[in-house]
Chain A
Amino acid sequence: MTEPAWDIYAEAPRGEAQMRDYFALLKPRVMSLVVFTAAVGMLIAPVGVHPVIAFASILCIAAGAGASGALNMWWDADIDALMRRTASRPVPAGRVAPDEALGLGVGLALISVMSLFLFANPLAAGILAFTIFYYAVIYTVWLKRLTPQNIVIGGAAGAFPPLIGWAVATGGLSIEPVLLFAIIFMWTPPHFWALALFADTDYRRAGVPMMPAVAGAARTRVLILGYALVLAPIAILPAFTAIGGPLYLAAALVLNLRFVLGAWRLARRDEAAARADGFAVEKSFFGLSIVYLFAHFLALLAEAGLGAAGLRLADWPQLL
């Protein structure tokens, strides 16, 4: 018997991916942020959820986020292959065939939305379906390669999870989850533009019109400061709603002061200074932006914990 023409001993043929490759298609790091913000939205809602329903709903939201990630990787495989940061993703690296990624994305999207409909309620399932559509079609297919406003508008996709979590618990929406949506929505541009400042070469090579490539790094730095200034009052506002309190107010004041100061430092630098120290300040601001978001949501969770323990101030002012 002769050996086959293709060398099965050298590497895995296409379509022979391992489970970890399929898992990587789901963008687990993005998924963790989605799960965290959705879980906080659910836990701080005024209505309790049975732990089993909460767990099942979180799994559905995670699967929905994974579906968005797989569809994004399917569509963007050509530009992912051109960028150092994304070239090792399963599709451009040849470990997962494109149609497998598409199948996984569509399948997970259908299963996650239908399951959330059955486990929780139609509103939560509807927002999850819209979120997947928004990320996969409006952001990935339509906006990402078209306009430098791609992540400004596309940022809404990442802002929906707290709304879904709140809807799972209450079956409705109110001003509090809308404020959480607004925080993530306004946070997304400075977060990604900080990344785009030091990953500019990658984005230019792939032809993705990120703000630094289109408007220039100097203008992007000013925009980051502008967004940080607008974000600050929005992020402080939940302190004066039913989900806030003095602990959240203190955390939000400190975090937003640091965020605005970080953006101010960024805005005062020029490209020469940034290249001289290997974009140290930009990378530090990017890291700070992640801590910023997690800390706000953790503070809200702590407020909910104090409320459950009966330690919430009765006469704390509520403006909304």
Chain B
Amino acid sequence: MLSPEHDLHRRRRGRNASLALVLGGFVLLVFAVTIVKLSNGGQIRGFDHTPETLVVGQ
């Protein structure tokens, strides 16, 4: 039987921690890109089939 302290577990723990860092980094990256895209979001409004006019000054 493998003991919890076996080298196999230590190696897997290191690999799992690295993978967690990579996935966490990817989530942060998507979040950061989303913020930037929303901040510059001139073209993000969906088409809603309603003709509109922009009235300046009202």
Contacts and interface: CB of A to CB of B under 8 A. Distances in A.
A12, A52, A53 pick with most chain B CB within 10 angstroms = A52
Contacts of A9: 7
Contacts, number: 33
B33 A19 contact: no
Contact of B14 (A8, A19, A55, A115): A19
B46 to A, nearest CB: 16
A19, A56, A118, A119 pick with most chain B CB within 10 angstroms = A19
A8 B8 contact: yes
B15 A50 contact: no
* Interface band, chain B: 10 to 19
Give chain B's interface secondary structure class: helix
Contacts of B14: 18-19
B33 A56 contact: yes
B8 A50 contact: no
Given A8-B8, A50-B36, A50-B40, A56 B15 contact: no
A16 B8 contact: yes
Interface string B1-43: 1100011100110110011000000000110110110001000
Interface string A37-52: 0000000000000101
A16 B14 CA distance: 11
Interface of B: 1-2, 6-8, 11-12, 14-15, 18-19, 29-30, 32-33, 35-36, 40
A-B complex: 3 closest residue pairs judged by Cβ atoms: A19-B18, A52-B36, A52-B32
Interface of A: 1, 8-9, 12, 16-19, 50, 52-53, 55-56, 59, 115, 118-119
Given A18-B11, A19-B19, A53-B36, 6 more contacts: A8-B8, A18-B14, A18-B15, A59-B29, A115-B30, A119-B33
